[in-house]
Every structure is written in structure tokens, then in C-alpha cells.
Amino acid sequence: MKRIPSSIPASADLAAAPPVSAASAPGRDAIRSTVLANGMKLIVWPVHNIPNVALYNWVRAGSRNERPGITGLAHFFEHMMFNGTARRRPGDFDKLMEAQGGANNAFTSDDVTVYQDWFPRGALELIFDLEADRIANLAFDPEVIESERSVVYSERRLCVDDNNHGYLAEQVQAAAYVAHPYRFPTIGWPQDIRSWTLHDLQTFFRTYYAPNNQTLVLAGDVAPEEAFALARKYLEPIPRQAAPAAVLAREPPQLAERRVVVRRSAQTPLIQYAYKAPAAADARAPALSLLLSILVDGDASRLYRLLVEDQKLIIDIGGNWHEGFDPALVWLYFTLPEGAEPEAVQPAIDAELARIAARGVSAEELRRAKNLVAVSFWKKLATIDGKAQLLGEYEVFHGDWRRLFDAPAQFERVTAAEVQAVAREVLDVRRRTVGVLLPDPELELEDA
């Protein structure tokens, strides 16, 4: 991320679950989309409640597109895209945008890199100019590259080296895959961050920052035709490139549980489970999202209630599904109190996960999960930022932004039997990687 620390694990929590009666989402009939001659797609949702616009540019490039030796390069680009072009010096992008009232950020996941701008409507043309300029004319100043390497390294120290959750997740992710590039940490392995070459950068940029590999979404105080006209002026002249080579790697079936144990300076031990799960566009997606919600979403969720409230074995709990282009992982993470033995806690977690696979979920649990999903959908739709994000997620990961509005009905239709079926398939101990972080007694002695 350009400014805000990466989520943990590094895979972004994309494609947040939508829900009930979104057919009536106000203003959806005004959404328009077009494809420029160079293959770049634009989607515009005009909303006029505040005089501002949110822009999301989805670039189909993530750590999935890397190889050993250049891990972290997609994320490094996320930083370099703010660092000057043939027309503008490093820093001008931010200075010009701020001087017109705009702010920006970006994030990188295993699958995509997403650039975000939030600005007053008067800055619309400047934003198109700035976005087109960095796609067409990005500069690679060696001094700037070196400086930005240090910034990224500092980000890595913050999110991984000095963060036990991040450190363990990186190890678990690396162990969970043997063939697929999803094993690479999005932030990059330390030695790779130090050693990318200018040639690596130029090749990656030419391949993945082609206009035909990007989707631009705007929501807010803008007319679709106005945005399309500016896109034709600024973005359409950027030449199309050959489509990037498809990622052909397929992870072979996992046959037995894998286990990673790390010892770190810590007071509280950690456990992480990473199960092999389907891709974002899989038909089981709504059932799997609801399963995860039933397990860990809120204080009434299964695992929270059992492990935190009743048995007091765990002090914090979380989970997420990496919804990617390819089959990825469902994560569950647990923070234990000081002095707890992970080996003594794990059987309680496993028993409950086995129970949900064997006996399924109650009607009340399913209702709760569907309602939580419904409210989170409406909360997102209440802002121009949420609208731009959701449209982009559905366009990029589900093939068509219109599917956003079908999702609520799909979630509503999920039955308890389908949730149980997906629990049986996904929560299989043979197909998981377990990470354990133990406080290192030797490190403690050194401290004393």
C-alpha cells in the first residue's frame, strides 16, 4: 500500500460479500460502461449527493504475475507509479492532485494492483491527465528507484519483520503452495526487494500496465459522457499491448497437512490455519463467504463464542478468504493468551471445525450471516468509494459489474446444506497448512 500498511495476510480482502434486495440499489440504472479503442474498459456510476468523485483503476497485475527473483515487483510498481513521468518530476503527481483538492492511495494483492483517487468534481480533467500520463510515460529514475526500495523495505519491516501476525502469515503462505505463485509474499522477499533491475521494471510495466489490462471505475458527481470524453482524450491514445501471458501454474492437490513453527520474541502465541479454497468466481463462493461469517464474523460467531467466550482459550480471532483469480486460501487466525500451549488449544478448534462439517449450521446462524452480509452491502453502497470498489471487484473477479446486483439474491438462496457441503470440502485437515508462533525462551533470556 502506498500509505496504509498492508492487510495481513498480504492478500487483500477483495470481493466483500453482498446481499438482500439490492435490486433496488438507488441510481443503479444510471451506470454506464464503455470500452476504449485500446481495450481499456470504463464504468461510471453517477451519484450527486456530494460534489466529489471516487476513481478506482484496477490493473490486472499482482504477485501472482511474479517469479522467483522478482517477488514484490507488482507492489513496488504501486509505489513507482507516483514517482514521476517523462512529463512530470517525481512528487508532481501528488502535488498537483493535492493542489486541486484530490487525495490518493493504492493497494496491491496477489491478483491485482488498484489505484484510488478521491477528488472534487472540478479536478476531473486533471485526474484523467495525471492517470493517463503515468500509464503512458512512467519514468524510471535510478535514484528514485533506490530511494523507493528503502521505503518499501520500511513497509516490510512494519508489516512483517516487526509484526508477528505478518511474519507467521508470510511463512504459512510460502508453505501452503508448492507450484503456484500465490506462495510469494506481495511485499516481496527481502533479497528481491534489494535486487530488482531496471530491466525487470521496464518489462513488467510494458506487459502489465497496458491499457487493455486495466479497468477504470468512477463513482460520484460526474456524468458518464463527460468521463468517457475525457477518457477518449487522455487514455485512448495509449497503445494497446499484447495480452500478458496467462498464469498457467496450477497448484497440485495437497495430500497431507503441512506445519510451520516459528519462534519469535513474543508474549502471546499465535495459530494460523490456511485451507485450500476455490477461486473467487467459483459457484460455491456465496456459501463459502457465509460459512466464514458463521465461523468468525462478530461476537456471536461460532468460533468466537466457543473459544473466546466459553472456553477462554483464545483472546482474538479472525478469518478471511483470499478470493483470487485462481484457487487460493481460506485463513483462520487465533491469538492465544500468554503462557498458553498451542498444542493444547488446537484440539478445541479442530473439534468445532469438524462438528460444523459433520452437523452443519443452524437456520439462525445462516440468517445471521445473511443479515450481516446485507448490512455490509448497504454500508458500502452508501459511499462513492464503496460503489467504485464493488463495481470494480465484480467486473474484475466475476467478469461483469452487473453481477454485483445479482449477488444479493445468490446469497439469499444459499441453503444450510450448501454451507455444510462447502465446510466439508474446504475444512479438510489434509488440505491445510498450520502455522504456529511460539515465544522464544532464549530470546526472553537475552532480554533479561
Partner 1 sequence: MSTAYALTHPSGGAVQVPAHERVVLPNGITLLVVPSPEVPLISFHAVCRGGPLGDSQPGLASLVAGLLDKGAGARNAFEFVDAVEGAGGSFTTVTGTEALSITGQFLARDQALMLELLSDAITRPRFEIAEFEKLRARRIELIKAAKDSDPAEVIGTYGRAMLFGSHPYGKPAGGSEASLASITHRDVLDYYRAHIGADRLILVFAGDLDIAALKRDVAERFGSWRKAGVSAAPVPEPVRARGRRVLLVDSPDSAQTYFWIGNVGVNKQYPEHAALDLVNTLYGGCFTSMLNTELRIKSGLSYSARAGFTRTAAAGEFAIRSFTDTENTATALDLSLQTLMRLKTEGVTTEMLDSARAYVLGQYPLNFETAADWAAALVELEFYGLGPEYIDEYAAQLRGVTLPVARGVIDHAFPNVEDLVIVLIGDAAKIRRIARRYGELTEMALTQPSFSP
CB of 224 to partner 1, least distance (A): 19
For residues 257-276, which are near partner 1 according to CB under 8 A? 264-268
For residues 50-89, which are near partner 1 according to CB under 8 A? 50-52, 88
Cβ nearer to partner 1, comparing 280 with 414: 414
30 in contact with partner 1 (CB under 8 A)? no
28 in contact with partner 1 (CB under 8 A)? no
Query: Using the rule CB under 8 A, which residue among 46, 102, 185, 188 binds partner 1?
Result: 102
101 in contact with partner 1 (CB under 8 A)? yes
Query: Using the rule CB under 8 A, which residue among 141, 153, 327, 424 binds partner 1?
Result: 153
Query: CA torsion angle for 350, 290, 319, 402 (degrees, to 10)?
Result: 150
Q: Let me know if 78 is a catalytic residue.
A: yes
For residues 206-225, which are near partner 1 according to CB under 8 A? none
For residues 419-438, which are near partner 1 according to CB under 8 A? none
237 in contact with partner 1 (CB under 8 A)? no
Please identify which of the residues 66, 78, 170, 395 carries the catalytic annotation.
78
Cβ nearer to partner 1, comparing 202 with 267: 267
**Strand order, beta sheet including 103-108:** 32-35, 41-46, 214-220, 52-59, 113-120, 103-108
Element (H, E) at 152: helix 142-156
Do residues 237 and 135 lie in contact, with contact meaning Cβ atoms separated by under 8 Å? no
Query: Using the rule CB under 8 A, which residue among 46, 166, 224, 392 binds partner 1?
Result: 166
| Residue from 107, 195, 209 nearest 145 by CA | 195
Cα of 325 vs its chain's centroid, Å: 11
- For residue 133, how many other CB atoms are within 10 A of its CB? 20
Strand partners, 57: 115, 216
186 in contact with partner 1 (CB under 8 A)? no
Distance CA 374, CA 354 (A): 28
Q: Is 431 exposed, middle or buried (0-12, 13-18, 19+ CB in 10 A)?
A: buried
Distance CA 127, CA 139 (A): 18
Query: Using the rule CB under 8 A, which residue among 13, 30, 48, 49 binds partner 1?
Result: 49
Query: Using the rule CB under 8 A, which residue among 107, 115, 118, 184 binds partner 1?
Result: 118
Cβ nearer to partner 1, comparing 199 with 299: 299
For residues 360-399, which are near partner 1 according to CB under 8 A? 364, 367-368, 370-375, 378-379, 381-385
The H-assigned helical ranges of 246-383 are 285-296, 302-303, 342-359, 363-381
Query: Using the rule CB under 8 A, which residue among 122, 244, 318, 327 binds partner 1?
Result: 122
Query: Using the rule CB under 8 A, which residue among 78, 131, 155, 395 binds partner 1?
Result: 155
For residues 187-206, which are near partner 1 according to CB under 8 A? none
Strand partners, 274: 331, 433
CB of 147 to partner 1, least distance (A): 4
The residue type at 273: Y
Query: Using the rule CB under 8 A, which residue among 256, 299, 441, 442 binds partner 1?
Result: 299
CB of 21 to partner 1, least distance (A): 8
Distance CA 411, CA 387 (A): 19
Query: Using the rule CB under 8 A, which residue among 13, 69, 98, 250 binds partner 1?
Result: 98
236 in contact with partner 1 (CB under 8 A)? no
Q: How many residues does the chain have?
A: 448
Cβ nearer to partner 1, comparing 26 with 142: 26
Grid coordinates given for 311: 472456553
| Residue from 127, 136, 124 nearest 236 by CA | 136
- The footprint of partner 1 on this chain (CB under 8 A) covers a number of residues equal to 85
Query: CA torsion angle for 388, 103, 64, 209 (degrees, to 10)?
Result: 90
327 in contact with partner 1 (CB under 8 A)? no
Do residues 265 and 438 lie in contact, with contact meaning Cβ atoms separated by under 8 Å? no
CB of 250 to partner 1, least distance (A): 34
Query: Using the rule CB under 8 A, which residue among 41, 165, 180, 432 binds partner 1?
Result: 165
Would you put residue 220 in left (φ > 0), alpha (ψ -120 to 50) or beta?
left
Grid coordinates given for 1: 500500500
Distance CA 406, CA 151 (A): 41
Catalytic residue ranges: 78
